Amino acid sequence: MRPGCLILTVTKGSEIPLRTIDWNDEFETISMIDQTLLPAEVRTIECDNIGFLCEAILSLRIRGAPALGAAGGFGVALAAIKSRADSMEALLDDLRKVGDIIRSTRPTAVNLAWGVDRVLDAARDAYDTDGIRRIVLQEAKAIADEDVKLNKRLGAHGGELLHDGDTVLTHCNAGRMACVDWGTALGVVRSAVEAGKEIKVIACETRPLNQGGRITTWELVEDKIPVTLITDSMSGHVMRRQMVDCVIVGADRITQDAVFNKIGTYTHSLVAKEHNVPFYVAAPVSTFDFERMEDEVEIELRDGGELRFMAGKQIAPLDVEVYNPAFDATPMENVTAIITENGVFRPPFLLDEVKYKM
């Protein structure tokens, strides 16, 4: 499949698209903000084939667990519209194959597979090929719409944990760019600010791809929420100096025994525990994978070039061996509470409660 796309450029300072990712009814494409260009440029790209969607996911043009859930769903919808299959069986077979390809792009972030599977399951209700095409698009749009609503609910629950004047340390980007809108960890901050509290954020840079430095700070500056950027290695120092009231991070997958999130999260959890700083995880129920344990989850390994180069400049010997896992696992004993759309949960984290308690 050859990558192809239509590109629309939105220059900085003009209106930023309302959603990080959405379906474009006019072009029948997946519309997404290219996050690799942030914060220098806000550009929307229109993705018109699965090859390009996979490239966009792999290169983190679209990223963050909930946004990947929407990308998975829209990917199946795009495949349904592009497929020339003229029988239900052939079309469903095409969609299952595309689903496998999309799922394999980022194995740790469970929402990607969840989005694909949810839309594939919905297709089973159809009676003909047109029905499949209609239903999968409807379901993908529902995932995106729900994401915004769930994040607002999650934010309202989490916002109650924050006090006026608090400083929150966060890692990576679990903001509106990681979701369809609003965000999870940053959604909690946004909800607290909306409720009239003064909240400051310390954003860890998040090497090697700097999602914290590039995206979290950009989102907060846009929203006029005070934010200070630090390197990842400074979290020990700022917590020892009592500059942090709590840590809030997002999650890519929550198993029975651990929270998978951007590499570096585990280290912050250890520092937080040592200094009695509450460590909160903000994630929708769709990020839970309670059927698995930590050692059953594949951690995505990324290219060594991400450490040998920075912004195109060589910063390490070309032939140095590199270990570049995208995520780490934080054991549940380091987690103070998990904030979901259904409420705030403290240990022991029981799936039935998390899923159904309101």
* Binding positions for ligand MRU, rule: CB under 6 A: 60, 63-66, 109, 172, 174, 178-179, 184, 211, 249-252, 261-262, 326
Q: 263, 108 in Cβ contact below 8 A?
A: no
| Nearest approach, Cβ of residue 330 and ligand MRU (Å) | 12
Q: 242, 276 in Cβ contact below 8 A?
A: no
By beta-carbon proximity to ligand MRU, the closer residue of 88 and 307 is: 307
| Nearest approach, Cβ of residue 155 and ligand MRU (Å) | 11
Measured between alpha carbons, how far is 151 from 202 in angstroms, rounded to an integer? 21
| Nearest approach, Cβ of residue 107 and ligand MRU (Å) | 12
By beta-carbon proximity to ligand MRU, the closer residue of 92 and 281 is: 281
3-state secondary structure of 87: coil
Measured between alpha carbons, how far is 174 from 63 in angstroms, rounded to an integer? 10
| Nearest approach, Cβ of residue 215 and ligand MRU (Å) | 8
Q: 166 catalytic, yes or no?
A: no
| Nearest approach, Cβ of residue 255 and ligand MRU (Å) | 15
Tokens 């998975």: give the residue. Answer: 72
In this structure, how many other beta carbons lie within 10 angstroms of the beta carbon of residue 235? 24
In this structure, how many other beta carbons lie within 10 angstroms of the beta carbon of residue 108? 21
Helices (H), the chain: 50-58, 65-82, 88-105, 110-123, 129-159, 185-194, 211, 217-222, 235-240, 265-274, 305-308, 351-356
By beta-carbon proximity to ligand MRU, the closer residue of 95 and 179 is: 179
| Nearest approach, Cβ of residue 62 and ligand MRU (Å) | 9
By beta-carbon proximity to ligand MRU, the closer residue of 66 and 213 is: 66
Q: Which residues contact 23 (CB under 8 A, 6 or more apart)?
A: 29, 30, 31, 74, 77, 137, 140, 141, 144
By beta-carbon proximity to ligand MRU, the closer residue of 83 and 151 is: 151
Write down the catalytic residue from 252, 289, 295, 352.
Answer: 252
Q: Which residues contact 103 (CB under 8 A, 6 or more apart)?
A: 72, 112, 113, 116
By beta-carbon proximity to ligand MRU, the closer residue of 54 and 122 is: 54
Measured between alpha carbons, how far is 147 from 153 in angstroms, rounded to an integer? 10
Q: Which residues are catalytic?
A: 252
